[in-house]
Amino acid sequence: MRNWKALVFFDLDGTLLNADSEISKENLQAIQGLKQNHILPMIASGRSPKEIITITANTGIDSYVSLNGQFNVVENQVVSKHVFPLDVINRLMIFSKALNHSFACYTDQEYAACYKTASMEKLYKLDNAPLPEINKNFHLKNEIYMGYLFSEDETKDQLYQTEFSDSLTFYRDSPYSLAVVIKGQSKKTGIQEVINSLDLAHVPTYAFGDGNNDLGMFEAVQTAIAMDNASEYVKHHADFITKSHMDDGIRFGLEHFGLLP
């Protein structure tokens, strides 16, 4: 473990990734520049560890907050994970099926859904990711760290919030889906767990994001940076607004705060 002089957390979709869900050459150079400057770049995303590892291959990134704070890794070592109770998953599957919303379960390596829907297909096309396996019993044989509900009807979101107010938190993270985590968990708590594991609460912390599920991340760091492609609501909660994720906004923000050599 190195003596890092700052920590920078990056969301992936709409932030560090381009329209093809890839890390551009410019962003790769920025990540390498951070490490040369003794600053630790980390991912904070709703995506799974397997997806993050694939996306960040050859970048040197080995630390991340994944599944919206449910499974967290520092320098390739798991520092915290939060498992869904089986009875809660069963309740949610019954409730979501009555609303015709399929539900997917995520481990750190795999994911599977109860059945296929148009909303599901739209989400994974948007993320340039493979469709889930269809397996309604997947949760019975695996530890589940996060769930996804596939719904385009935002008027139904509050039904889930009310029904599961004792056990779960729901984040609408796309027009087609709701991310589901254990109540009280978020990118914020995941980042706090990572910072504590590094014993680096005294160093400056920064975060780049664009979505509603990044607001918790913004609360966990000293300096919150919103991408120009973020909503006005997200921008309102940021300390600084950088350029778009398609307009070298990562480098622009890092240079603004003097984080690159």
pTM for the full model? 0.89
Catalytic annotation present for 11: yes
The 10s digit of each residue's pLDDT in 175-203 is 999 999 999 999 999 999 999 999 999 99
Full residue range of the structural domain in which residue 46 is found? 6-81+186-256
Judge whether residue 1 has pLDDT over 70: no
177 in the same domain as 102 = yes
67 in the same domain as 100 = no
Task: Give how many domains the chain has, as a whole number.
Answer: 2
Half-sphere exposure of 114 (CA within 13 A, CB side): 17
99 in the same domain as 54 = no
Report, as an integer, the average pLDDT of 41-54.
Answer: 93
Hey, what are 254's tokens? Answer: 């890092």
Catalytic residue, from 11, 127, 173, 210: name it: 11
What are residue 71's DSSP bridge partners? 66, 81
Cα distances (Å, whole numbers) of residue 51 to 55, 67, 235, 248: 6, 10, 27, 23
Q: Is residue 261 part of a domain?
A: no
Q: Is residue 1 part of a domain?
A: no
Q: Is residue 159 part of a domain?
A: yes
The 10s digit of each residue's pLDDT in 213-252 is 899 999 999 999 999 999 999 999 999 999 999 999 999 9
93 in the same domain as 72 = no
